Structure formats: C-alpha cells, structure tokens
C-alpha cells in the first residue's frame, strides 16, 4: 500500500485486506472470550459438586456423633465442622458478590442470560484493582489468605495462601514482567470480564477444596468414615405411601446399616433396581384402578437385597411394603360458576392441589374453543354452542369432563339524554332543553362484571322526528352514533309536541375486537315535550 506506483484499485484491495485481517483478529478474541465463559461455567459446576460432597461429609459427622451418644469430645468436633462450613459459606458469598459486580461491569446480561460486553477490561480493573491499591481484590486477598490460615488451625494440614503475589506464584515468578505484580494486578489488570470471573471461580473451587480436606480430617476423629455394624435389615423407603395415578412413584431400597466395603444388589418385582451410592433408586408411573370408597387403590411392593457377607457368603434380605394409589382430583375455580356466555371470554382456573408441581393439564372441549390464559390450569373458554363439555387431562390421563350451560349475552339497556338530561321523567323534557339528543347502550351490570372485555356496546345511529298531534312537524334528522345536535328542529318545538327516535342498530365488540349486531326488537322511543 505504501508504493506510490499502485493504482487506486490496488490501494482499495490493500485496504480491504487490512480490514479483513482486523476482523479475523476480533473473531479470535471473541472465540477466546467464549472459551473463558465455558471455563467459568465448568469451575462453577465443580464448586457446586464439591459443596454437595462437603455437606454430605458434615451429615456423616452429625450421624456419627449422634450414634455415639453425643459425647462432649465428639460434639466439639461437630461444632468445629459447623464452623468450617460457615467460614466457607461466608467466603463463597463474598466472592459471589464480586462476580455479580463483574457481570454488571460487563453491561449486565441479555434476555438469554449472556453477558453483554465480554471484552470489557477498564471497569474490571477499576472494580478489582482501583486507582491507588484500593480495589476490591486487595480486600479479597486478605480474606482468602486468612481463610486458609484459619482452616489450617482446624485441620491437620498447613494450607498455602490462596491469593499469591507474582513473586510467590510458582508460574508468575518465572516471568520478569509478572513477578513484580501483586495479586490484584496479576489477575485482574487488563483482564476481560469472563477471564476475571474464571479467576474468581477458581478461588471458590480452592475454598471448597480445603473445606473438604478439613471436614474429612474432622470426620476421622469421630469415626464417620468407618462405620461398623453387625446387624443388617432390608428397608424400603417411600416419599409417600399415597401416590396419585399418573404421577411418579419415588422411593429407595437400602440396607439399614451400610459400609463402603459392601456393594448391595437389589431387585424389585423381579427386575433390577438402579443403584446410587449404595442405595437403590425406585421410580415408576403409578397405575390406578379399582379405587375404594376413599378413592384409594392398594398396592404391594416386593423385592430383595443381596450382599456379600464378611465370611464370603452371599446373603439375601427380602423387603416388602404396601402403598396406595390415590384417584387424582381437581378443582374448577372461577369468579362466577356456570352458565358461560356464548361467544365471550369466559376465564376459568382449574387446579389440582394433590398433583402440585406435577399439575400440567391439557384441555379440550365440545361446543367451545379453549385458549391458554396465563399459568398452568388457567384457560379462556369461548362457547359456540348452547352447551359445553370441557375435558381435563394430565400426563396423558383423562381426569374428568365438566359440563357447562351457555347463556346468550343479555341485551343492553338503551339510555336517552335530551339536552344532557336523562329522559326518564314520565312528563317528558322541557322544550327549552331539547337542543340535542344522545343515546347510549349500557351493558347488564352482572355481565359487565363477569366479562368486561365483551361488554362493549354502542348505538350505530338514530333518526329523529318532531310530531304534533297526528302529523310530523319536522324531520327526519339522522344523527351519527351516540347522537348529536337537533339543529333547526329545536326552533319549531312547542309544548305538547313529541320526539320520536328510531335506533338504526346496536353493536357489540367482543374481547377479540370483533363487531357483531345485537338484536334489540322494537327500537322506537317517544319523548314528550312540555
């Protein structure tokens, strides 16, 4: 591009090449940032798994202390274990707070939960490094290293500091440039958001690691890792001995006392049972039928548990348990129960407290359209016949059919205002007030309360005549929807005259916005003048 002999076309091609090279560089940078996102997600998952394992260790310690009669020495170990869990939880919480601030520094997240600006570096440095060694990472370094020191005192190992400066870091101290940096600058200066998140997630993983090592040591002090027993009982545990038809039956088969040296084999109804950490996991769809007067169908589970005894023989323990399958029920909730209104928005809420979170109903109807209306079990029924049968199913099972009567929409009441005054006086209205007429169609109050989106009526137009005795004096005058001024007709009015008003029609707009004519019968109104 620097050659003065290049043609304009050659220069343009050269410029395009540079632009393309820059775009490729950006793509590589974007790909690396995405890899940091994946790395951070993996670290968070590993930390979550470690947390669950550590909690299980604590539960083992509690069980061992209880089994030995809560001896003071064992209770003291349990208190230390609780303290270890609390210190780890506080440390994890502090880091989670910094991670939340990092996400905000990256512009927050979009609708799919992705960070908007992965490449943000300046705000990361401002938050964690600061302008004068006052960033949050300096506080974090102190608390991380204090945490490692405190757990060293509770366990049997000396834990190294978790937040090292460059000169102490085994990798960073190999570089002349990096070994002079402190912990915040080394890890968070010129660092994009996902990379900073990954560093913090790694520290959380370290926190859980030394927590787990400390808990394992404490567990050995109360014998939680070496459970001994001389009696074995086969047990079958169920989440509930009553299960609704069409839902999952869940339970566990296990030995009443277990050991890491025993690997039991279990079967139920002649088939193998899936094993998980020495426990049999039972799950199947409960089948109903033959319900008794209480809506229950009795069932029996039979199985076996086999294990290798210390003498080398295989022993089998039978297990048996009874349970009941309950007939599922549901409740129809609505502001006003049947009848429904023809062609209108009838909102229903049908719920099943028995099924709870498993309630995911499907509806169909004869004589109506069924529309979803929000959450589970909430629907809008739009009848198109004189009767509606609503079918209610869940998980492929038909639970029942509800029958509804259907009423036609009640006709509205027509209200006349002459000169702004209601024309309800039996004598009529004064001549001096009869300068304009307005007419409106008012929905039935109960219908308007039940279906406000369907109770929208209007008068399409009116025709007005002025009559005296047996003859017409003036008119006809045609006024638009809602009425209007009587104009010159008002100057010809005398006491004893009468106004005859004919409605052109009445219409209703439903919840969909569709317009339909309303049959009103006679649409003639006579108003006397005095």
Same domain, 100 and 151: yes
Which pLDDT band holds residue 334 (cuts at 50, 70, 90)?
low
For range 493-522, the mean pLDDT:
88
Same domain, 430 and 388: no
Does 5 map to a domain? no
Of 17-26, 380-389, 413-422, which one has max mean pLDDT?
Answer: 380-389
Task: Choose one of 326, 354, 388: the last residue of a domain.
Answer: 326
Same domain, 148 and 216: yes
Cross-strand partners of 266 = 305
Tokens found for residue 513: 């916005």
> Residue 19 CB: number of other CB atoms within 10 A?
10
Same domain, 177 and 293: no
Q: How far apart (Å, rounded) are the C-alpha atoms in residues 174 and 168?
A: 10
CATH number for position 297:
2.60.40
Phi-psi map region of 482: left, alpha, beta (phi>0 left; psi -120 to 50 alpha): left
Task: Choose one of 307, 326, 345: the last residue of a domain.
Answer: 326
Q: How far apart (Å, rounded) are the C-alpha atoms in residues 410 and 518?
A: 10
Same domain, 252 and 343: no
Q: Which of 177, 183, 178 is nearest to 162 (CA)?
A: 183
Same domain, 450 and 371: no
Starting at the edge strand found earlier in the chain, the sheet holding 271-272 runs: 242-244, 314-326, 296-308, 265-268, 271-272
User: CA geometry: angle at 373 spanning 355 and 343, to 5°?
Assistant: 120
Tokens found for residue 319: 């297990």
Does 522 map to a domain? yes
Tens of pLDDT, residue by residue over 190-226, are 888 888 888 898 889 999 999 999 999 998 888 544 4
Q: What crossing angle do the helices spanning 136-154 and 72-105 adopt, rounded to 10°?
A: 160
How far is residue 439 from each of residues 258, 454, 478, 501, 502, measured CA to CA in Å? 85, 20, 13, 10, 11
**Coil, helix or strand at residue 227:** coil
Same domain, 289 and 356: no
For the chain, helix, strand, coil in percent to 5 are 35, 30, 35
Which pLDDT band holds residue 1 (cuts at 50, 70, 90)?
very low
Same domain, 95 and 203: yes
Tens of pLDDT, residue by residue over 388-399, are 999 998 888 888
Does 16 map to a domain? no
Which pLDDT band holds residue 2 (cuts at 50, 70, 90)?
very low
Does 13 map to a domain? no
**Coil, helix or strand at residue 153:** helix
Query: Percent of the chain beyond pLDDT 90?
Result: 20
Tokens found for residue 162: 């978790």
Q: Which domain does 517 fall in, by range?
A: 413-528
Q: How far apart (Å, rounded) are the C-alpha atoms in residues 266 and 97?
A: 46
Q: Which backbone phi and psi does 466 adopt, to 5 degrees?
A: -105, 120
Cβ(421)–Cβ(438) under 8 Å?
A: no
Could you tell me how many residues make up the chain?
530
Q: Is the pLDDT of residue 22 over 50?
A: no
Does 17 map to a domain? no
Tens of pLDDT, residue by residue over 113-143, are 888 888 888 888 888 888 888 899 899 999 9
For range 308-331, the mean pLDDT:
73
Strands 340-341 and 397-407: parallel
Tokens found for residue 240: 């509930």
ω into 74 cis (within 30 of 0): no
What's the pLDDT score for residue 479?
87
Tens of pLDDT, residue by residue over 456-486, are 999 988 898 988 888 888 889 888 887 888 8
Does 24 map to a domain? no
Does 21 map to a domain? no
Helix (H) or strand (E) holding 76: helix 72-105
Task: Choose one of 372, 407, 442: the last residue of a domain.
Answer: 407
Same domain, 396 and 427: no
Q: Which of 266, 430, 433, 404 is nearest to 339 (CA)?
A: 404
Which pLDDT band holds residue 317 (cuts at 50, 70, 90)?
confident
Same domain, 285 and 153: no
Which pLDDT band holds residue 231 (cuts at 50, 70, 90)?
low
Same domain, 310 and 380: no
CATH number for position 361:
2.60.40.60
Tokens found for residue 178: 């990096």
What's the pLDDT score for residue 389?
92
Same domain, 387 and 449: no
The domain total for the chain is: 4
Across the chain, mean pLDDT equals 82
Tokens found for residue 63: 């069980």
Tens of pLDDT, residue by residue over 29-41, are 677 777 778 878 8
Half-sphere exposure of 439 (CA within 13 A, CB side): 27
């Amino acid at each position: 591009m620097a050659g003065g002999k290049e043609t304009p076309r050659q220069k343009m091609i050269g410029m395009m090449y540079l632009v393309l090279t820059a775009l490729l560089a950006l793509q590589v940078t974007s790909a690396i940032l995405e890899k940091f996102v994946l790395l951070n997600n993996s670290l968070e998952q590993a930390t979550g798994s470690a947390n669950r394992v550590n909690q299980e260790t604590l539960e083992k310690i509690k069980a061992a202390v209880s089994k030995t009669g809560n001896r003071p020495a064992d209770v003291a170990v349990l208190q230390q274990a609780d303290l270890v869990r609390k210190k780890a939880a506080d440390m994890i919480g502090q880091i989670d707070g910094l991670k939340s601030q990092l996400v905000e520094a990256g512009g927050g997240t979009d609708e799919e939960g992705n960070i908007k600006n992965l490449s943000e570096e300046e705000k990361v440095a401002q938050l964690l490094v600061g302008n004068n060694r006052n960033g949050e990472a300096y506080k974090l370094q102190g608390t991380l290293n204090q945490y490692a020191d405190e757990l060293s005192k509770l366990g049997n190992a000396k834990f190294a500091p978790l937040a090292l400066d460059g000169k102490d870091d085994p990798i960073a101290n190999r570089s002349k440039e990096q070994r002079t940096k402190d912990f915040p600058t080394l890890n968070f200066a010129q660092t994009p958001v996902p990379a900073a998140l990954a560093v913090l997630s790694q520290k959380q993983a370290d926190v859980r690691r030394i927590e787990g090592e400390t808990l394992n040591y404490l567990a050995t002090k109360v014998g939680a890792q070496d459970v001994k027993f001389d009696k074995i009982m086969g047990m079958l545990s169920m989440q509930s001995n009553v299960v609704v038809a069409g839902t999952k039956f869940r339970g566990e088969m296990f030995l009443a006392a277990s050991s890491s040296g025993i690997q039991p084999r279990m079967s139920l109804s002649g088939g193998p049972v899936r094993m998980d950490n020495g426990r049999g996991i039972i799950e199947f769809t409960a089948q109903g039928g033959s319900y008794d007067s209480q809506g229950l169908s009795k069932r029996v589970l039979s199985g076996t548990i086999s294990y290798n005894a210390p003498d080398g023989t295989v022993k089998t323990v039978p297990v048996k348990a009874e349970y009941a399958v309950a007939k599922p029920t549901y409740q129809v909730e609505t502001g006003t129960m049947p009848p429904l209104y023809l062609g209108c928005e009838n909102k229903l809420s049908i719920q099943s407290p028995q099924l709870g979170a498993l309630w995911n109903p499907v509806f169909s109807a004869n004589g109506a359209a069924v529309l979803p209306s929000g959450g589970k079990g909430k629907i809008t029924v739009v009848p198109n016949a004189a009767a509606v049968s609503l079918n209610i199913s869940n998980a492929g099972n038909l639970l029942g059919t509800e029958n509804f009567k259907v009423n036609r929409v009640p006709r509205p009441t027509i209200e006349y205002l002459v000169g702004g005054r209601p024309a309800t006086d039996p004598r009529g209205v004064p001549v001096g007030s009869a300068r304009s007429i307005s007419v409106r169609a008012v929905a039935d109050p109960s219908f308007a309360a039940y279906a406000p989106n369907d109770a929208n009526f209007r008068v399409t137009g009116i025709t007005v005549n002025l009559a005296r005795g047996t003859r017409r004096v003036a008119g006809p005058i045609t006024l638009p929807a809602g009425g209007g001024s009587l104009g010159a007709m008002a100057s010809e009015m005398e006491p004893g005259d009468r106004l005859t008003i004919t409605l052109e029609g009445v219409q209703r707009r439903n919840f969909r916005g569709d317009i339909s004519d309303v049959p009103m019968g006679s649409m003639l109104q006579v108003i006397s003048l005095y």
